[in-house]
Amino acid sequence: MTGKGTMDESILVCVYYGPNGAKLIRRGCKIASRLDCPLYIVSIDPAPADELDHEKSQYIESWKKLAEDYGATEFILKDNEKRPVVKVIGEVAREKGVTQIIIGQTAKSRWEEITKGSFVNILLKELPFIDLHIISVSRELRGHDGDYEKGCHAYLVRDGTQYKISFNHTNEAQYEGIFFKETGTDFNNGTFKFMKDGEMLEIHVTEDYVTEKEKLGV
């Protein structure tokens, strides 16, 4: 989104690890497209980039690809960052001339302070002239095939020629993600969302077992 006409506006999307980052980026793209202005995406981590685990690295790569697909001006990774998150966001916002910031409100994430109000107050004090968008990214899922309960952390483990859902982390766990159980069922029927090869995938689970093994390359 370089060379935009409305250069008096500029959007910054702040993303942290999890399946909600893509939603925030899409929301930022929609606003930036409407305003015809630059779009920046930033992710902040206290660890160096070469020490990020496999899952975090996959999220970073998927966000970079999404940023490229949407024509974002720049994806910014602030790794090895020991300063408070607000200070880093403020620095990026001032460097890029940002006028609007998008952050996610989640139950468990690095942005947990948002729900208490303190993060918002500190950020607004740091950047008093910036418009702040707080996007609800609750871990709930509604699909065409029915309603789902709140998502919970889960894993896929190999069981013979099949994959089975598990809620305990063991050495046998091959995939980590979020399981959304269908409402009104006593069995583990629902949708499992996870990262694979830099992409967010969804597969259906019926009575504990994956029914779309081809997505796992089986």
pLDDT for residue 198: 66
pLDDT for residue 105: 65
Two tokens, residue 80: 């090895």
pLDDT for residue 1: 47
pLDDT for residue 109: 47
CATH architecture type of domain 11-136: 3-Layer(aba) Sandwich (3.40)
Residue spans per domain, the chain: 11-136, 142-216
Residue 186: is it exposed, middle or buried by C-beta count within 10 angstroms (0-12/13-18/19+)?
exposed
pLDDT for residue 181: 82
Low-confidence ranges of the chain (pLDDT < 50): 1-6, 106-115, 139-146
Q: Which of 85, 98, 79 is nearest to 39 (CA)?
A: 98
Distance CA 218, CA 216 (A): 5
